[in-house]
Structure 1
């Protein structure tokens, strides 16, 4: 049976204001787009996913005829980033993220002649590695950077090295002698910056053992491929720059610059803190560049930081050597990577909690404030974050995580966590979040953590048992079967989305649909009317050997195969829509 998934939905919330204040707010124009996709059963995507997997395992360095190569030619800009995200998730779900990234890396280095431009473009290889780091490395990133980023937010120190941006007047409130000199502000800022940078660099270079094994293996392969392509002594630093270009320039530095986008903070920084983060991010980026661009460009005012940055470069080289000094190989076709590590806290915060009540008790709509922590093993809670006495719910006992109708408790943003005890009895905890965004984030995290659990419920009640009946379906038995189907995932459109290979395959299919005409024009429309191309072999009877370059023949063959798969998926979607129409027509009309 097909399932549906809504994608790229963003909700903007506001608060109710008194009528007298409404006129002073101005106007806000929003453009909202809702995309709904029907995701078919897995068997319909099997030919497409098998073909993609085969290309990732292809030993050829520069295979211009693989479906991945054709997909890259058919996409650009934001579409390429979306495609990279879907492909990484698809290959992660098959345990083939390593071979997939290695295949793209081999293609990239084979096409690069100047090592200074390696991975500098927004190629499919660059975008895929970037999305891969977000998907597998976010808990690692949080563990390394969150303490110092939080400290910057909390201390709100004024730091500035650029004379054009210094606000000398703001120092009057801390000095009885009036505004301080530019030199004094620079020296104070330098001390503050190095005071933050020191612990940041220490945390990074000391994090080898905490970096996910999958990331370390991917970086090891990356370094090997780059070294094979540029073995000359003068290119000794290229392998370091390739790895640090991703880890520092596309992971650590952007997270410091915009912590909210990496879930390091709940809110964006104020202007002063944002400027401090920018200076720190610039410094980390310079360290990741191994100091190659120090003293160049227009930002010569960064010179006071250069001694500290130069001292950090040797430590970074040693860190990268230790990072890729790892044994083992990712097994092709092996089990998918566990998205929620057992011991890592993936989400925490205050929620309002209420347990279901037995039929003998009077109904009381009281929610108690508790601090929740979710890891891959447990969902625990206590009155405060510091309290050691905690109540614990094993994640392995979760059977459903669903929204609750607002009318059940006359409260918004409530979800339910249904668990099963050793005796087989089901229990429900109701949790209220402060807004819809937090609700979706908790739903996603809980469903992702409990995804491997067996015996998940197929249906549950979106209401509450109140007044001797369910508010949703009005059934009078508390043990009555659920009236609404359960869900396996919440699509947030970011790294925290659960893996759903069928949904990812559907999006790849959609991307191919967008490029279907281009695929047909570029590879199948022959300028010579005397030649044809047949679907079974890819080469028609009128094509003589040598008439076309071998790569073009193989590209045409692959284009034919992809177009045939698109037709099969088109047909499957049409049959599903027809069944929906038939079912709707057969339903009896209301009174």
Structure 2
């Protein structure tokens, strides 16, 4: 059976010309991202800025059936509610129409409450004949996931049905987003009533004071159910009207959005492609030549190269061949480089693969090395500046209570602070040899050997170090120091002052990684006071790199073993959460949450009073059957999730956990869903409320064991470096890139074929002719594999269409 994989990648880059919402004439903007009205991410706040830069990326794995992606810009207020500035909404169809992705500025529009609808309604519609008269019967059964319109986080919904100017209404159900009506509304039909006459079903939130709030509508024509009844769930839609463009008055967002909807075939369909890629590495040509991997690089666009690199790294990790794969790419890159100063400076497949490899394999290592130092820099908020053009004497009260300091004193103080931070950073890095993952160390050892063999001249003796430090320092440590939020080192972006400190530290770490070669050649001469420290660190860096590549040969012998991101007992996520365990003997109270420290691994979710506490309570991962967010009105508190487990007697038990913000909530939801991906008997429905006062707070049902009123979301996860390896999905993405570049691949094949048919008596040309014959064969083989996969996709697509037609033609139960 084929499966579906939908990945939505979006980057909130920056905003411009946002309106001022604060009395200071600025705003404190942040973005909330929703998929079909469910919050999936929140950027950090950028303080006092009308042109904020966020640069935050998210990948979301979802079920195929989402409708809209919305970006809301809000102004954070410490008192009262945050102000909504505006929003950008992109439909799934609009995103899908750009297969290479959307990357542009989009004006913000006003937020209209009548458009903020969500949820579904269950209806049965039929036309019946009674006593020689025709009637339309509309049975309104229930609704789910309605928008909360009241302060309590719920609504008071009722349904209004309109036909030919006549209106009927259901009863109002108080304080719920999951109302049950089961009411029959009946209209008499005139002989003149046309089959095209619209039947409008509207859902409203009843308010005692003021006007009722609109919750959504569905429109049918009588033709749709005159011959046979309609029965099912129907998505609620807003009033039809053109979205008003604010004309840039609310500012704009620069967004990058790409949707990848893929049909994932059974594994055996991808095996020929995997075999071809593996053959490139296991049996490479004796000389630099064309292989399926090099052809993939040539036909891929520069924009897609990072994604291709990530997929290839994961494929070869799964095959246990990531070290030979990177060694193959690096050797090709080195052999094509004549000037050692330009080695790995381009965005080639080799450079991107090394970069993505470090992120996939080395993120826990990065956190262990840098996190405590970065946290201290954020907490201390010291004023640091070396550039005389940017020194602000008024800010020096943080340095001295004796009044303003001179520029020279500020520079001296800043220098000491920076040297102190740099000293700690370098101590952490050079002392991290044993913490560095073995796969990284072996890869760097191979790279060191290749560069040493290619650049033998005395003046190039440092190139073997720079090749490694260029990746480790310039593409790993320095970017993480510059923007710790983007490397999971912090939850928030740095304020402008801390950001400046991080920038100066990142510049220094880059110079150290370059072994000081660029010192004195740049425009920033004001960095010169740091040069002595940078130069004194070079020897320590070389010593560190020598130790790093002095890795036991046993690690190399084991490199063919398939690599996994985590040992089953390794901690995937940990941190403090507030916990409440619900049971049938006591009511759930908002005050019974206890602070506990949690650890998640592939085997268990465990917790104790503190990280140091020896006694832990442990829940086996295979016992988890749902992990879902909880409505705010359940406890009158936000950011709560529930973990439903099944004990040995198959009884369902629920534990409630509160997170500190929506991002932490989504991260925990995602992490637990990933480790339970193979669990059997996962629940398809659950209650997003809690059982209190002898009824569920969500659907108001009095039976504790009643069927859940909301669908579960076990397929919705955040994509990150800790994603489980999925060779079929990764191979499908590689196939998609080859399919997009098939015309280029055919041109290459034709070019090799044309060269291979020419003949000359000279032996050198005959050898070239043989080489071109090999190249032609490899290109032809790759084209055959692509065409076979395309045929398989077409076959599955046709089968799906036939199954859908058969399903649609079946009578309603």
Structure 1's 440 and 309: CA in aligned 2 closer, same or farther, altered over 3 A?
same
Bigger proportion of residues as strand: 2
- State the alpha-carbon separation in 1 of the partners of residues 448 and 285 from structure 2: 18
Q: Which residue number in structure 2 is paired with residue 7 of structure 1?
A: 7
**1:8 aligned counterpart, secondary structure:** strand
Which has the larger displacement, 462-471 or 106-115? 462-471
Tell me how large the CA RMSD over aligned residues is: 3.9
* 1:508 equivalenced with 2:731 (yes/no): no
Offset, 1:148: 0.6
- State the alpha-carbon separation in 1 of the partners of residues 616 and 474 from structure 2: 41
* 1:242 equivalenced with 2:462 (yes/no): no
The answer on whether the counterparts of 1:382 and 1:390 sit within 8 Å (CA) in structure 2 is yes
- State the alpha-carbon separation in 2 of the partners of residues 116 and 303 from structure 1: 23
Q: Which residue number in structure 2 is paired with residue 278 of structure 1?
A: 503
Offset, 1:450: 5.7
Offset, 1:374: 2.6
The answer on whether the counterparts of 1:95 and 1:336 sit within 8 Å (CA) in structure 2 is yes
| Deviation string, structure 1 residues 3-33 (Cα, Å, up to 9, x no partner) | 2222134435556999996579963556655
| Deviation string, structure 1 residues 202-248 (Cα, Å, up to 9, x no partner) | 11111111111111111111111111212333322111111111111
The answer on whether the counterparts of 1:348 and 1:371 sit within 8 Å (CA) in structure 2 is no
The answer on whether the counterparts of 1:62 and 1:110 sit within 8 Å (CA) in structure 2 is no
Q: Which residue number in structure 2 is paired with residue 109 of structure 1?
A: 334
**1:460 aligned counterpart, secondary structure:** coil
Offset, 1:426: 6.2
Give matches, 1:160-179, under 5 Å.
160-171=385-396, 178-179=403-404
Q: Which residue number in structure 2 is paired with residue 463 of structure 1?
A: 686
Q: Which residue number in structure 2 is paired with residue 87 of structure 1?
A: 312
The answer on whether the counterparts of 1:345 and 1:375 sit within 8 Å (CA) in structure 2 is yes
Q: Which residue number in structure 2 is paired with residue 517 of structure 1?
A: 743
**1:77 aligned counterpart, secondary structure:** coil
* 1:196 equivalenced with 2:421 (yes/no): yes
Q: Which residue number in structure 2 is paired with residue 584 of structure 1?
A: 804
| Deviation string, structure 1 residues 116-172 (Cα, Å, up to 9, x no partner) | 221111111111011111111111110110011011100000111111221123225
Structure 1's 489 and 317: CA in aligned 2 closer, same or farther, altered over 3 A?
farther
Offset, 1:429: 3.3
1:131 to 350, 356, 359: 356
- State the alpha-carbon separation in 1 of the partners of residues 325 and 629 from structure 2: 40
Structure 1's 254 and 520: CA in aligned 2 closer, same or farther, altered over 3 A?
same
Offset, 1:353: 3.6
2:250 to 16, 21, 27: 27
The answer on whether the counterparts of 2:752 and 2:775 sit within 8 Å (CA) in structure 1 is no
**2:607 aligned counterpart, secondary structure:** strand
**What number of residue pairs does the alignment pair up?**
573
**1:429 aligned counterpart, secondary structure:** strand
- State the alpha-carbon separation in 2 of the partners of residues 84 and 379 from structure 1: 33
The answer on whether the counterparts of 2:264 and 2:732 sit within 8 Å (CA) in structure 1 is yes
- State the alpha-carbon separation in 1 of the partners of residues 449 and 488 from structure 2: 32
The answer on whether the counterparts of 1:248 and 1:285 sit within 8 Å (CA) in structure 2 is yes
Which has the larger displacement, 268-277 or 40-49? 40-49
**1:6 aligned counterpart, secondary structure:** strand
Structure 1's 231 and 547: CA in aligned 2 closer, same or farther, altered over 3 A?
closer
The answer on whether the counterparts of 1:208 and 1:322 sit within 8 Å (CA) in structure 2 is yes
**1:524 aligned counterpart, secondary structure:** helix
1:556 to 756, 767, 776: 776
Give matches, 1:110-509, under 5 Å.
110-171=335-396, 178-327=403-552, 328-330=554-556, 334-341=560-567, 345-358=571-584, 368=593, 370-376=595-601, 378-382=604-608, 388=613, 391-394=616-619, 397-400=622-625, 402-403=627-628, 415-417=641-643, 419=645, 427-433=653-659, 437-449=663-675, 456-464=679-687, 490-492=717-719, 494-509=720-735
- State the alpha-carbon separation in 1 of the partners of residues 367 and 85 from structure 2: 42
| Deviation string, structure 1 residues 280-306 (Cα, Å, up to 9, x no partner) | 111111111112222222122111111
Q: Which residue number in structure 2 is paired with residue 569 of structure 1?
A: 789
Give unmatched runs, 5+ long, in structure 2.
Answer: 11-32, 35-41, 43-71, 87-109, 111-248, 759-764
Q: Which residue number in structure 2 is paired with residue 535 of structure 1?
A: none
Which has the larger displacement, 115-124 or 133-142? 115-124
The answer on whether the counterparts of 2:6 and 2:259 sit within 8 Å (CA) in structure 1 is yes
Which has the larger displacement, 22-31 or 248-257? 22-31
Offset, 1:256: 0.3
- State the alpha-carbon separation in 1 of the partners of residues 540 and 460 from structure 2: 19
Give matches, 1:9-88, under 5 Å.
9-10=9-10, 11=33, 13=42, 27=250, 29=252, 33-60=258-285, 62-88=287-313
- State the alpha-carbon separation in 1 of the partners of residues 516 and 371 from structure 2: 25
Structure 1's 70 and 423: CA in aligned 2 closer, same or farther, altered over 3 A?
same
Offset, 1:570: 1.6
The answer on whether the counterparts of 2:466 and 2:515 sit within 8 Å (CA) in structure 1 is yes
Offset, 1:195: 0.9
Structure 1's 365 and 157: CA in aligned 2 closer, same or farther, altered over 3 A?
closer
| Deviation string, structure 1 residues 382-428 (Cα, Å, up to 9, x no partner) | 46x56736643255545545435859959886655455667777654
| Deviation string, structure 1 residues 328-353 (Cα, Å, up to 9, x no partner) | 24457844323135676543344454
Structure 1's 432 and 520: CA in aligned 2 closer, same or farther, altered over 3 A?
farther
Which has the larger displacement, 562-571 or 579-588? 579-588
- State the alpha-carbon separation in 1 of the partners of residues 382 and 772 from structure 2: 60
The answer on whether the counterparts of 1:459 and 1:485 sit within 8 Å (CA) in structure 2 is no
TM norm structure 1: 0.85
- State the alpha-carbon separation in 2 of the partners of residues 505 and 52 from structure 1: 10
Which has the larger displacement, 253-262 or 369-378? 369-378
The answer on whether the counterparts of 1:346 and 1:375 sit within 8 Å (CA) in structure 2 is yes
Offset, 1:515: 0.4
The answer on whether the counterparts of 2:640 and 2:658 sit within 8 Å (CA) in structure 1 is yes
